[in-house]
Structure 1
Amino acid sequence: MKTSRLYLGALILMIGTITLSAQDDQSIIWDHEDVICKEQEHAEFKIQQRGNRTAFADQTDIYYQIMKWDIDPAQYYITGEITYFFKSKVDNLTAFHLDMANELQVNSITRNATPLTYTHTSDQLLTISLGKSLALGETDSFTISYEGAPPSNGFGSFEQGTHAGQPVIWTLSEPYGVRDWWPGKQDLIDKIDSVDIYVTTPPGQLAASNGKLMSTTELNGKLIPHWQHRYPIASYLVAIAVTNYSAYSQYLPLDNGDTIEILNYVYPETATQSQTETERTIQIMANYNRLFGTYPFAAEKYGHAQFGWGGGMEHQTMSFMGGFSFGLIAHELAHQWFGDKVTCGSWTEIWLNEGFATYLTGLTYEDQSPDIYWPQWKTSTSNSAMSQPGGSVFVDDTTSTNRIFSGRLSYNKGAYLLHMLRWIMGDEKFFAACRDYLDSPGTAYDFAYTAELQSYLEQRSGKDLDEFFNDWYYGEGFPSYNLTWTQQADSIVFWLDQTQSHPSVSFFEMPVPVSVVLNGAPQTFVLDHSTQGQRFSFPIGNTVIENVSIDPEIWILSKNNTVTEITTSTYQPIGQNSFNVFPNPAQSFVEIVPAKDVFAADFIDNLGRKWKTTISAGRIDISALSPGYYILMLKNSNGDLLSVQSIVIAR
């Protein structure tokens, strides 16, 4: 094996100056959306093929597997032998259950060379009789020898292709494809604590897999690489790929003097270009290390294996890559923290994998191109999330492929949920909470749920986030803000309303940033919006207000916002609470109390259109106005402004 070692300690600063190239400039939003589309495309097929999920998954804990495969990429076939070491999680365990495709044939199942009986039923369930009863906590092991041509389905779990006339075979098991090529526990309950993987290949072929390459031996003219992985791994993240790879390593130096190896298995015909492209991994990983803690499998490696599918897959310690675009590298690497180290405990909560990976891709743009590509990423991601009025990040239907792997909701809205939490909490507390989620004993190298993430966020922020998650995670839609402002003496006064795009949320309680340009300098005021028509006042001194805008940095998912200035030169407000306006919401009329001194009223809608009305005995006829939110300005007979309030017309 020819290996190129690229020590890049001093070069990291140089890489930081070149970062994104002109080629990236042409495809910045592209790549982000293409990653999502390719992953959804693969998952669509696999969800349709998922079949049985064993009802017995929580009866046993697999703590070690020895996995041996014989693969010739020119032949669509697999021969395997897997030894399972496990512990019983129940009392009186007499059978072990695995998912296994009907296309695979069991040759034997033995314990210490003694045959065990089994059944392999049409529902693709393999049941092994243990021949004895295991007590709670008791350990046992057995070995399965099998072979066959795995089911072929176009975007499946075991695929054969070619590159430059050379054969290649790869696997991709997310979410329900394990059983297609090896008998396994196809669940999100039990991670295998440790694996040793041996892949026998013809000469000239290299096999990529999980963990650290311990050795490569020759036997009868064939090569047998030994991959060793000593971290817990979900079964769908176990993978192999075999072809005539060209291999090279790049290294990220750490502050303690250690390095992290980035081992790349690429097609030889594109190796020169790939080596340039994979260099980007170094700075991306350095940024993730800074934000979320050192790469979680640093004792072994990270790497890429090129394969024949157009997207990527975050196989633990070695992502399989259809190419090496900037966004794809960032997305799949991000999964090593969010998806591999900590894995969503249910496909209903896939956002814990995909929302985080999408957001970390955005953080890569923030790190390397804060003025150009980071704003573009925020615009693209938020626009996608709000391209329809409804939709929840929480997946309530795991039978729907489009729902689970929705680019709009699981990826983009999930990413923006995190961005809004960062805004609410501030960088220090937000990233600390993310590290808590990754490193705490209950979640590190295990499965996790949204409720656990919320708990860590609440502990760091000191805030109750139930309302936030009810609105943004379980709820649907987003707000549209209607801001009215005026300058009063040495203060700026705001009134803020909102409408909601979906009826599942009655009000989004959020701190809303408003940017005000004062004498040429922008200043941000935060409006802690908790009720309709809320009034805010901030001292600004004797300054000139040049511009007012809502959330120009795109911290919040909101759309169709409006800003209206009150420009009455004789503005002398008595105060919004000096008059009672009722009912509110109203249908055909409103009453003003006290009515004395109030002569006229102007209604301004969220488009800035104004309707002038007169008052008769304290009553205003509003039957001609359309339903919606309005700013109500009460005036005296001289046209002086007495009060500004918000009102809802609902019918």
Structure 2
Amino acid sequence: MRRRGSLLAVVLLLAGCTGHQPDPAPSSAAAPDFRPGADGAGDPYFPKYGNGGYDVAGYDLDLRYDPKTGKLDGRATITATATQSLSSFDFDLAHLTVSKITVDGAAATSRASGNELIVTPAAGIPDGQRFTVVAEYGGTPDQLENKSLGNGGWIRTTDGGIALGQPESASTWYPVNDHPSDKATFTLAMTVPDGLEVISNGVPGPRATKDGWTTWRWAESAPMASYLSTVVIGQYRITTSTHDGRPMIIAVPDSMPASSAAATSLARTGEITDYLASVFGPYPFDANGGVVVTDTRIGYALETQSRPVYGATFFAGGANPGVVAHELAHQWFGDSVALSRWQDIWLNEGFATYAEWLWSEHDHQETVQKQFDRSYASVDWTQPPGDPGPARLFGAPVYERGALIVHALRKTIGDDAFFTLLKTWTSEHRDGNGDTAQFIATAEKVSGKDLDTFFAAWLNGKTRPVI
């Protein structure tokens, strides 16, 4: 069992009365029950991901990275609110060491236990109290090993570094409550040697150069799940424009021609976003864009908030606007409306895959029905996406069967109710979280239909449902 800091004694001094007045009745107010916060968020698939006892409002990072040494150091300022009376609490932090930490300006103590950072403040934090943690830390960031799902976290590259990964990655470069149920705003000041570019989430801020180093600033004002935070450092060609009143930032490696398949695919980001907004509702963030990376260890694309990151392999066969549609759809389904628990990942991947089908039809390629028919005939029906298991979070049944569910639901409730449902869901849960039970309830409310039998067959069944 993890050893924690001792509970703080709370002494109540009661002033006595004088004269002939009767003694006051004993106070019935109980002292706060200061306890350690849980060392995990309690996710059914990953019980130790994240932490309990507090809710983060924002991360403010001021960091410096030297690609020559691979060293990262700096300061994280974290604002949070206690959801219980805390004697101590945990952050997730891997490979890095904290040298100094304060809570509300007072010196605190911390110690590492595996990938957990246990913080004990000088005084207990009462339930409901807002507090600020400032941690100075550093070291050599690295990845988190996950044999089933693939490694995530910090990758040192020949010219810089990349922080990326799902379901966890943020803890490899800053102290964090690393579970999507605790979304928070995010600002980053990253200082790197002159001549390197830094791309991250949100809106770019002013840059400053001094003594051969440049500080790049980025800010994401909408709450963000921690695994959606990213930073890409290296030699990049950044194109900045304005689309629908928002900054559009597209970044591709300097080594990649402007006419490359990757660059031409990302050039359609604004067009695809506009189409998806007509289907899903208003685009939910202050900025848009995308980044292409060429590191061969990144063989995937990830919907990092407001700025998806694409592995170059997706464009090896030519232009691929479908993957752009997939990652942009996640800005609604997965980012703005994030998961409450990893079991419900079909809500992310099913709708993003269906967005590929919608975009294909809109772009005068294959129809949605044709894509549905092909997947319906070939998908593995023995693997239900409603409970894929932690080792199959990114398996084909989640993506393909997820999209099949979406289209079958459309056919069941009709187009009017279906497209109303999409906009209702993304509006009611914007900047928050959602789960399968909430989605089903919304679908039934919008359609006026009892959908228990439908979801039992399509979401949780192990045989091919009858159309």
TM-score range, shorter chain: 0.7 to 0.9
Aligned pair partner of 1:306 in 286, 293, 301: 293
**Change beyond 3 A, Cα 1:377–1:78:** farther
Q: TM-score, normalised by structure 2?
A: 0.82
Give the Cα–Cα distance (whole angstroms) in 2 for the partners of residues 248 and 161 of structure 1. 22
- Equivalent residues of 1:250, 1:279 under 8 A apart: no
- Equivalent residues of 2:337, 2:430 under 8 A apart: yes
> Deviations for 1:363-403, whole angstroms, at most 9, x for unmatched residues?
10111125x46455334433442xx34121112532xx2x2
1:71 matched to 2:65? The reply is yes
| Bigger mean CA deviation after superposition, 376-385 or 210-219 | 376-385
- Post-superposition offset of 1:51: 8.8
* Alignment map for 1:393-412 (pairs within 5 Å): 393-395=385-387, 397-398=389-390, 401=391, 403-407=392-396, 409-412=397-400
Give the Cα–Cα distance (whole angstroms) in 1 for the partners of residues 104 and 117 of structure 2. 20
Give the SS at the match of 1:263: strand
Give the Cα–Cα distance (whole angstroms) in 1 for the partners of residues 135 and 431 of structure 2. 27
Give the Cα–Cα distance (whole angstroms) in 2 for the partners of residues 111 and 221 of structure 1. 33
Whichever residue aligns with residue 356 of structure 2, its letter is: T
1:378 matched to 2:372? The reply is yes
Give the SS at the match of 1:142: strand
1:94 matched to 2:87? The reply is yes
Give the Cα–Cα distance (whole angstroms) in 2 for the partners of residues 170 and 284 of structure 1. 26
- Equivalent residues of 1:266, 1:305 under 8 A apart: yes
- Post-superposition offset of 1:126: 1.0
- Equivalent residues of 1:304, 1:319 under 8 A apart: yes
- Equivalent residues of 2:202, 2:288 under 8 A apart: yes
Give the Cα–Cα distance (whole angstroms) in 2 for the partners of residues 420 and 303 of structure 1. 31
Give the SS at the match of 2:61: strand
**1:286 — aligned with what?**
274
- Equivalent residues of 1:345, 1:448 under 8 A apart: yes
Aligned pair partner of 2:197 in 192, 206, 209: 206
Give the Cα–Cα distance (whole angstroms) in 2 for the partners of residues 380 and 284 of structure 1. 24
**1:560 — aligned with what?**
none
1:333 matched to 2:325? The reply is no
**1:80 — aligned with what?**
74
> Deviations for 1:58-103, whole angstroms, at most 9, x for unmatched residues?
x11111221122123344332231011111112x2221211122x2
Whichever residue aligns with residue 99 of structure 1, its letter is: D
Whichever residue aligns with residue 394 of structure 1, its letter is: G
User: Higher Cα Rg: structure 1 or 2?
Assistant: 1
1:173 matched to 2:165? The reply is yes
Higher strand share: 1
- Equivalent residues of 2:73, 2:139 under 8 A apart: yes
**2:119 — aligned with what?**
128
Counting aligned pairs with the same residue, the percent is 28
- Equivalent residues of 1:343, 1:352 under 8 A apart: no
Give the Cα–Cα distance (whole angstroms) in 2 for the partners of residues 216 and 112 of structure 1. 29
Higher RCO by CA contacts (8 Å cutoff, separation 6 or greater): 2
* Alignment map for 1:107-506 (pairs within 5 Å): 107-111=99-103, 114-122=106-114, 124-152=115-143, 155-162=151-158, 167-192=159-184, 194-253=185-244, 259-273=245-259, 274-297=262-285, 299-308=286-295, 309-323=298-312, 325-369=320-364, 372=366, 374=368, 377-385=371-379, 388-395=380-387, 397-398=389-390, 401=391, 403-407=392-396, 409-440=397-428, 443-479=429-465
Give the SS at the match of 2:459: helix
Whichever residue aligns with residue 152 of structure 2, its letter is: G
- Post-superposition offset of 1:213: 0.4
Give the SS at the match of 1:390: coil
Give the Cα–Cα distance (whole angstroms) in 1 for the partners of residues 372 and 89 of structure 2. 48
**1:485 — aligned with what?**
none
- Post-superposition offset of 1:237: 0.8
Whichever residue aligns with residue 280 of structure 1, its letter is: R
> Deviations for 1:395-416, whole angstroms, at most 9, x for unmatched residues?
2532xx2x22111x11000111
> Deviations for 1:8-33, whole angstroms, at most 9, x for unmatched residues?
xxxxxxxxxxxxxxxxxxxxxxxxxx
> Deviations for 1:389-448, whole angstroms, at most 9, x for unmatched residues?
4121112532xx2x22111x11000111000011111222101111111111xx221111
Count of residues in Structure 1 that have an aligned counterpart in Structure 2:
409
- Equivalent residues of 1:241, 1:305 under 8 A apart: no
Give the Cα–Cα distance (whole angstroms) in 2 for the partners of residues 380 and 75 of structure 1. 50
Give the Cα–Cα distance (whole angstroms) in 2 for the partners of residues 114 and 138 of structure 1. 15
Give the SS at the match of 1:474: coil
- Post-superposition offset of 1:212: 0.3
**2:35 — aligned with what?**
none
Give the Cα–Cα distance (whole angstroms) in 2 for the partners of residues 179 and 344 of structure 1. 18
- Post-superposition offset of 1:104: 1.4
**2:30 — aligned with what?**
none
Whichever residue aligns with residue 325 of structure 2, its letter is: A
Give the Cα–Cα distance (whole angstroms) in 2 for the partners of residues 53 and 374 of structure 1. 37
Give the Cα–Cα distance (whole angstroms) in 2 for the partners of residues 307 and 78 of structure 1. 22
Give the Cα–Cα distance (whole angstroms) in 2 for the partners of residues 341 and 307 of structure 1. 27
Give the Cα–Cα distance (whole angstroms) in 2 for the partners of residues 374 and 405 of structure 1. 22
Give the Cα–Cα distance (whole angstroms) in 1 for the partners of residues 405 and 242 of structure 2. 33
**Change beyond 3 A, Cα 1:173–1:444:** same
* Alignment map for 1:624-639 (pairs within 5 Å): none
Give the Cα–Cα distance (whole angstroms) in 2 for the partners of residues 150 and 181 of structure 1. 6
Q: Give the superposed CA RMSD.
A: 2.3
Give the SS at the match of 1:272: coil
Q: TM-score, normalised by structure 1?
A: 0.60
**Change beyond 3 A, Cα 1:439–1:52:** same
Give the Cα–Cα distance (whole angstroms) in 2 for the partners of residues 374 and 432 of structure 1. 18
**2:28 — aligned with what?**
none
**1:20 — aligned with what?**
none
**1:28 — aligned with what?**
none
Give the Cα–Cα distance (whole angstroms) in 2 for the partners of residues 458 and 373 of structure 1. 27
